[in-house]
Amino acid sequence: MKHDWKPGNMIYPLPAVLVSCGATPDEYTLLTISWVGTLCSEPPVCYISVRPERHSYALLDRHREFVINLTTEAMARATDWCGVRSGRDYNKFRETGLTPGRATVVHAPTIEESPVCIECRTREIIPLGSHHAFIADILNVQADDKYLHPVTGKFDLAAALPLVYLHGEYFSLGTPIGKFGWSVEKKKK
């Protein structure tokens, strides 16, 4: 039997990402976001949803650029810390020991420890209620070459041990059970 609950977010798990923003080192900051995702493949468009009262909101609104940095098990403590502390009160890069890196296209910093850094420029901000959606074009993706297979060149994000958020808790990913299309693949003889 299933029970009806009031409407709410139950679309889990989600990536736990660190969004970096600011145009100059004196204003660089980080915020933890799980309301993040893909909207379109061609052209590549994504979104982040941010509460307007967050310290980073003004930077995101003013500069219209940010970087979505995927996180890992090793970054779990810093990811959580950045979600419960305000950039008004702390220099989050310094406090977490994370290293600001140079983005290729946008002015916002990347995070050197992140396996994938997705450089974005806001095309539209949509007020939705508790959160505003920043709809953004993906301008560049930096991927850490230590996760490239030495023979095939294929990027192995699973080897980075990505961090996900599941209804108030963080988890690492489990054992792979198949690849896209495995359910209809013909058996090799």
pLDDT at 149: 87
Tell me the pLDDT of the chain (189 aa) as tens digits. 999 999 888 889 999 999 999 999 999 999 999 999 999 999 999 999 999 999 999 999 999 999 999 999 999 999 999 999 999 999 999 999 999 999 999 999 999 999 999 999 999 999 999 999 999 999 999 999 999 988 888 999 999 999 999 999 999 988 888 888 988 988 777
pLDDT at 173: 86
Which are the contacts of 99, defined by CB distance < 8 A and separation ≥ 6? 93, 111, 112, 113
pLDDT at 21: 98
CATH 2.30.110.10 fits 14-177, yes or no: yes
| Structure token digits, residue 140 | 């560049």
Closest CA to 102 of 32, 28, 162, 50: 28
Contact between 131 and 49 under an 8 Å Cβ cutoff? The reply is yes
pLDDT at 40: 97
The amino acid present at 131, given as its one-letter code, is H
What are the extents of the domains in the chain?
14-177
